[in-house]
Chains A and B, each alone.
Chain A
Amino acid sequence: MISQILFAIALGVAIYFFGRAISKIRRNILLGKDLIFTGTPKDRMVTMLKVAFGQTKMSARPIPAVLHFIVYAGFLIINIEVLEIIIDGLFGTHRVFAFLGPVYNFLIGSFEILAFLVFVACVIFLIRRNTLKIKRFFGREMTAWPKSDANYILIIELLLMGAFLKMNAADYLLQGMGADHYVKAGSYPISSWLVAPLMSGLSEGALIMIERGAWWFHILGILAFLNYLPYSKHFHIVMAFPNTYFSNLKSKGALTNMASVKKEVELMMDPNADPYAVPAPDANAEPQRFGAKDVQDLNWKQLMNAYTCTECGRCTDECPANKTGKLLSPRSIMMDTRDRLEEVGKNIDANKGVFVDDGKGLVHDYISKEELWACTTCNACTEACPINIDPLSIIIDLRRYLVLEESAAPQELNMMSTNIENNGAPWQFSQSDRLKWATED
């Protein structure tokens, strides 16, 4: 009875804190501006199923793709077991689904095989990440925390899978002894030969201790892991789904047309425009800003992107600027956006729900001009991202702010703009010479 109460408390606390973290993230994402989506819900669903569920974009790099798929599918499926654990924990039952008979045997059997595969994959991942010099796991933005984060996740998964197999092994032995409470159920294709021999000769009491210990460790570990997610790059296991659902379905080459600019240009250029059709500016309204200086100026999709990024570095690996030694790294753009958004969120929490200006912004304080101006808008990053994140759109919005609000474009680009304004071409040629090519030799 006591253990049931303890279990209920642990479960309640874990769910409460997870819910709180999620609602904060939701609030942070919704600090972003609204945006218009194209494409039908069906198209979006298909994209999500393909890219997030089917992991189609991972196939560009086959070895990690296979390992990743094992960890992903394994972890997902094994978590069905968590349902049983929760029911057992709350009601004091043991292997409550055992009545399913052969189906149950099959399920537990496959969970074991998957758990073993996940274990092996995580070991390979750990070795690969820490001993092979894979370029994308290093780089400027991969400071101490992101590096440890990646290792923590793999280690936690190892521990969880280990506990799962240990629990099963002890259970298997207890079943063999005909111990009370341990009904004969499940099949143990891995733990019976790999783990159980390590426990041979132990008394029933010791085995029960091991089984209970592993059971508690497994479920408490899962609850702790759940609460680690929102602070980790591993949050992508949740966010990949909504994020790909809201993928950009237009041609990658298209940039958005700023609606605020459109209005002004029409007023300026169109002789028929009625200047009075625009309502007088509201004195209390926040002054409108062109482009993005801070995270609140981005749209919520871009902010959702930031929480989805798994810091894999595939974007940076393909980025021509980064490849040739420039400061720009699209992964860093995403990580900086998330860090700044978290900071803004904490600011709001500390100030009773309103953001108090801290004199900082995403541009300059987190992302430098040098990074922003190095981008060739080539879309290699958006193509490479396995979960359809778009660092380029953030780069463009920050550039817009630099140019339209700070007039801080590089000198050569100012000259280019002046040329376009005066001659209708980025170079100093006269528009009246546009047809000369046809008559020259």
Chain B
Amino acid sequence: MSVNVKTIAEMKAQGESPEILFWVGCAGSFDDRAKKITKAFAQLLDKAEVKYAVLGTEESCTGDPAKRAGNEFLFQMQAFSNIQVLNMYDVKKIVTTCPHCFNTLKNEYPELGGKYEVLHHSQFLQQILEDGRLTIEGGSFKGKKITFHDPCYLGRGNGIYEAPRALIEKLDSEMVELKRSRANGLCCGAGGAQMFKEAEPGAKEINIERTEEALEVQPDIIAAACPFCNTMMTDGVKHFEKESKVKVYDLAELVAKAADLK
């Protein structure tokens, strides 16, 4: 299914401005699994009649993995050119489905000249649900057990624990917390540019450890809020050969399902 999206260049050419800029991110643009999250979120924006735009081919990596891998030069070069583009289009408000992009845009760009209101999609979805711009049924999740894995850069990194839970609450399902959750949440193993390299020698992969914890609560669905956590947890579930029983979904996908979009 294709989605009808406008780039900010197209919108500006028609003399219009978006309410939000949807920052898709590299995973959201290129990773097959993450693209589904991107689409789900775009569909929700459409359904709620949010006037949004993307940068499209003018978007480039925020530089998060480069920065965390110690390559500050590359990070600041990425930041410099992204900020030029964002400022050229006079962007005011950004929403992103990736906590890494979120953290970088929100916390690291302002000092370099990029000052925007930045929201994670869980926060934005919570807002439009509360405003009544988006309505969902939630009934399709009746009797399902959902657990939530806190992404480090959303939770500990930025103190956002409630918005994702508020969304799951709306799903008419049973929410079970992991043993280690919120500020004590265990990393999925992808952050700090680990996603792009083999792990150092050790006894175990971090995502296996985390998936083990998630499987302990016997969920039907593991809810993620980050494309990288999603990959890590999906791989973990496969490792334990539980993929037919336990699904890993992004919050946007869950809300889209509840909104009858899928």
Contacts and interface: CB of A to CB of B under 8 A. Distances in A.
B261 interface: no
B57 A440 contact: no
A425 B29 contact: yes
A339 interface: no
Contacts of B39: 437-438
B200 A403 contact: no
Contacts of A323: 186, 206, 209
B30 A433 contact: yes
A247 to B, nearest CB: 15
Given A413-B193, A413-B196, A429-B30, A420 B74 contact: yes
B126 interface: no
A420 B2 contact: no
Given A324-B209, A402-B70, A412-B196, A253 B35 contact: no
Interface string A362-383: 0000000010011111111011
B35 A437 contact: yes
Contacts of B7: 435
Contacts, number: 224
A409 interface: yes
Contact of B28 (A426, A437, A439): A437
A152 interface: no
Interface stretch (B11-19, B75-83, B168-176): B75-83
Contact of B197 (A258, A373, A437): A373
Interface in A399-431: 399-404, 409-410, 412-413, 415-417, 420-421, 424-427, 429, 431
B54 interface: yes
Contacts of A383: 156, 183-184
B88 interface: no
A424 B194 CA distance: 18
B218 interface: no
Given A253-B158, A262-B112, A396 B205 contact: no
Contacts of B69: 399, 403, 409, 413, 416-417
Interface residues of A, number: 71
Nearest to A264: B73
A290 B71 CA distance: 10
A425 to B, nearest CB: 4
B157 to A, nearest CB: 3
A426 B61 contact: yes
A135 interface: no
Interface stretch (A71-79, A325-333, A346-354): A325-333
Contacts of A294: none
Contact of A437 (B24, B199, B205): B24
B111 interface: yes
A396 B68 contact: yes
A200 interface: no
Contacts of B190: 376
A277 to B, nearest CB: 17
Contacts of B38: 437
Contact of A410 (B107, B197, B202): B197
Contacts of A382: 156
A434 B57 contact: yes
Given A251-B158, A378-B191, A417-B71, A431 B57 contact: yes
Interface string B78-96: 1011000000000000000
B60 A376 contact: no
A254 interface: yes
A321 interface: yes
Given A254-B108, A325-B204, A379 B157 contact: yes
Contacts of B157: 251-254, 379
B192 A375 contact: yes
A180 interface: no
B186 A269 contact: no
Closest 7 CB pairs of A and B: A253-B157, A325-B203, A399-B70, A424-B60, A377-B192, A254-B107, A378-B187
12 contacts: A252-B157, A323-B186, A325-B202, A379-B156, A380-B152, A415-B196, A416-B196, A420-B66, A425-B61, A429-B29, A432-B57, A438-B3
Interface of A: 60, 250-255, 257-258, 261-262, 264-266, 268-270, 290-291, 318, 320-321, 323-328, 370, 373-380, 382-383, 396, 399-404, 409-410, 412-413, 415-417, 420-421, 424-427, 429, 431-441
Given A257-B108, A421-B77, A425-B26, 9 more contacts: A252-B158, A327-B200, A327-B202, A374-B200, A377-B192, A401-B70, A403-B71, A417-B66, A434-B30
